[in-house]
Structure 1
Amino acid sequence: MEKRSSLAVNPEPGSGELVALFSGREQTLSGHNVGPQVHDYYLVHHVMTGKGEFQFMGRTYELGAGDSFFIFPGDLFRYTADKDEPWSYRWVGFRGDRAEELLSKMDITRHRAVARPLKHRKAAVLYHHMECMLAEGGEGCDLRSGGLLRMLLAEYGRNRGAQSEGTHGKQSPIEQQVERTIRWLTVQYSQPLSIEEISRSLGYNRTHLSKMFKMYTGMTPVHFLLKIRMERAKLLLREPLTVEQVAASVGFSDPLYFSKQFKKWFGRSPTEYRQDAYGRTIYDCND
């Protein structure tokens, strides 16, 4: 078996709620490995044939044909092809002002990053159309590919909903609490929140929520919220917004405090990060 791959890139990616950046496919070799590394965009893979392993957010998933896995910006990941049956997959990289919110509404989060099963034939057609559309380019490519991306994600949402009907009852009360909190934080991150407000809004005891959340995710709700805000800020700093506007957009009323938190998190100030980002934009979907 030989390695075969192709990649098509959006020639003029704009800004908006949901923007397709690139799409491709690959037949991997035995044991082919990507990572550990991070991206600054969203990336979804759909496994066409073969098997492999996906490591994300402290979990390891054994995946095969029909499975898909989502990578979120700023989070460490790794995936490896099976030695005996190396997988082939298609992928789409994307970004958007509402990308995380839209995924969350479909119950796709950092802690529910694998979708299974997805109708194989329909998935293959949508991924194929996306790659062809980006390869052709032309007027309206960005708008058309964005629409196709919505159709693709809607299919995941429909399948996720069918899964939920059969599996939600198997979740423990604690898991349901934590999943609800994750979805709530993912949508409400732009609001000025405290742990007390979070607990009160969800109807949970503050101490109990923090303990259960950390047990399930490895971090406190406050740390999780800060992580969402910082990753969102990175994306917004690529847009024509002032640092003050970025700070306000991710829930910080004080831009100086936001800048201190950003530098503490990434080792660079928002201005320094913006200068680096404008200097180079790399979409590395497969090594």
Structure 2
Amino acid sequence: MEDRFSISVNPQPGKGELVVLFSGRERTMPGHNVGPKVPDYFLVHHVMSGKGTFQYMGKTYGLGKGDSFFIFPGELSRYTADKDDPWSYRWVGFRGDRADELLAGLDITPFKPVAKPIRHNRAAVLFHQIQRLLSNGGPGCDMRSGGMMRMLLAEYERESTQRAEGSGGKQSPIEQQVERTIRWLSVQYSQPISIEEMSRSLGYNRTHLSKMFKQYTGMTPMHFLLKIRMERAKLLLRERLTVEQVAASVGFTDPLYFSKQFKKWYDMSPTEYRLEADGRTMYDCND
């Protein structure tokens, strides 16, 4: 019988755009739980069979065979196998200078962490091949596993493309610009960002981008960024982090300015929100 758990590690991970760190598989026990945990690398799981739940960024996803879920560095996650039909999955941990950008191009972000490759069997084979490459080791292991990882991400690109085509046909250039900006902001929100830097990174004219973005979303890019940051801050305030740590995690270098913006957004200070959230949690537990 196949072992319930196995993992293979890249013996000499390099540096670059996309680097595989490790890969593994597991047939979980009923109710098996992982987390809460915060990794310092990217992690993708692909469900081979069974089902379970994935808790991420304040949402809970019910997942089954053929689904994949992505975990980003610095983000809190928890996932649990079903008690009656526990899942079996494969996973790959990776990092890279362009990992954020590559995933955002597939419409996979911390706010959209679940994907479903069209060819489940093909994706499963690639997960298996990556683990086998790492297990065998040898010269070229790092380069070959990185290439195989790109092939795996291409399977998610197929799904992203088909979903876009099925949602109303080809997007206009302006719609593509706005969508790309939203994905960029969803990934980079934890970094200090200016409209000039964003426009330069995306290759768009600042004035044109701001006008088109507001036309399609009803708010400016920087207001949309603040919305992302405030929503993320609410989630982090429920964890055992200081206000200073929460501020830094959502892109604010000045915790006092962060507190001022939070109160303006929610009509209460971060500390007041935390006390209210803790009170609701205690009530729910005792209800």
TM-score category, normalised to shorter length: 0.5 to 0.7
Where structure 1 has 5 or more consecutive residues not aligned to the other structure, the ranges are 170-175, 222-226, 232-249, 251-257, 266-287
Q: Distance in 2 between matches of 1:220 and 1:4?
A: 36
Q: Distance in 2 between matches of 1:44 and 1:85?
A: 21
Indicate if the aligned counterparts of 2:49 and 2:88 stay in contact, CA closer than 8 A.
Answer: yes
Instruction: Determine the structure 2 residue equivalent to 1:274.
Output: none
CA 137–67 in structure 1, closer or farther in 2 if over 3 Å, else same: same
- Residue correspondence of structure 1 range 49-198 to structure 2 within 5 A: 49-167=49-167, 180-185=180-185, 193-194=193-194
Q: How far off its partner does 1:197 sit?
A: 7.5
Judge which range, 27-36 or 199-208, deviates more: 199-208
CA 196–208 in structure 1, closer or farther in 2 if over 3 Å, else same: farther
Indicate if the aligned counterparts of 1:178 and 1:216 stay in contact, CA closer than 8 A.
Answer: no
Q: Distance in 2 between matches of 1:126 and 1:80?
A: 24
| RMSD, aligned CA | 3.9
1:27 aligns with 2:27: yes
SS in 1 for 2:47: strand
Deviations 1:104-128 (A, max 9, x none): 1111111111012532210111011
Q: How many residues align?
A: 226
Indicate if the aligned counterparts of 2:50 and 2:85 stay in contact, CA closer than 8 A.
Answer: yes
Indicate if the aligned counterparts of 1:20 and 1:93 stay in contact, CA closer than 8 A.
Answer: yes
Q: Percent identity?
A: 60
Q: Distance in 2 between matches of 1:132 and 1:216?
A: 39
Instruction: Determine the structure 2 residue equivalent to 1:238.
Output: none
CA 188–103 in structure 1, closer or farther in 2 if over 3 Å, else same: same
- The residue type paired with residue 73 of structure 2 is P
Q: Distance in 1 between matches of 2:102 and 2:168?
A: 20
- The residue type paired with residue 7 of structure 1 is I
SS in 1 for 2:93: strand
Instruction: Determine the structure 2 residue equivalent to 1:44.
Output: 44
Q: How far off its partner does 1:94 sit?
A: 0.2
CA 217–197 in structure 1, closer or farther in 2 if over 3 Å, else same: same
SS in 2 for 1:164: helix
Indicate if the aligned counterparts of 1:9 and 1:134 stay in contact, CA closer than 8 A.
Answer: yes
CA 161–192 in structure 1, closer or farther in 2 if over 3 Å, else same: same
Instruction: Determine the structure 2 residue equivalent to 1:282.
Output: none
Q: How far off its partner does 1:165 sit?
A: 2.1
Indicate if the aligned counterparts of 2:7 and 2:24 stay in contact, CA closer than 8 A.
Answer: yes
Aligned residue among 191, 208, 214 for 2:219: 208
Q: How far off its partner does 1:196 sit?
A: 8.0
Indicate if the aligned counterparts of 2:189 and 2:228 stay in contact, CA closer than 8 A.
Answer: no
SS in 2 for 1:15: coil
CA 191–38 in structure 1, closer or farther in 2 if over 3 Å, else same: closer
- The residue type paired with residue 120 of structure 1 is H
- The residue type paired with residue 166 of structure 1 is G
Q: Distance in 1 between matches of 2:121 and 2:76?
A: 30
CA 147–30 in structure 1, closer or farther in 2 if over 3 Å, else same: same
Q: Distance in 2 between matches of 1:98 and 1:92?
A: 16
Indicate if the aligned counterparts of 1:213 and 1:220 stay in contact, CA closer than 8 A.
Answer: no
Report the TM-score when normalising by structure 2.
0.67
CA 68–12 in structure 1, closer or farther in 2 if over 3 Å, else same: same
Indicate if the aligned counterparts of 2:117 and 2:123 stay in contact, CA closer than 8 A.
Answer: no
CA 181–88 in structure 1, closer or farther in 2 if over 3 Å, else same: same
CA 32–123 in structure 1, closer or farther in 2 if over 3 Å, else same: same
CA 4–220 in structure 1, closer or farther in 2 if over 3 Å, else same: closer
Report the TM-score when normalising by structure 1.
0.67
- The residue type paired with residue 95 of structure 2 is R
Q: Distance in 2 between matches of 1:82 and 1:217?
A: 32
CA 261–16 in structure 1, closer or farther in 2 if over 3 Å, else same: farther
Larger radius of gyration: 2
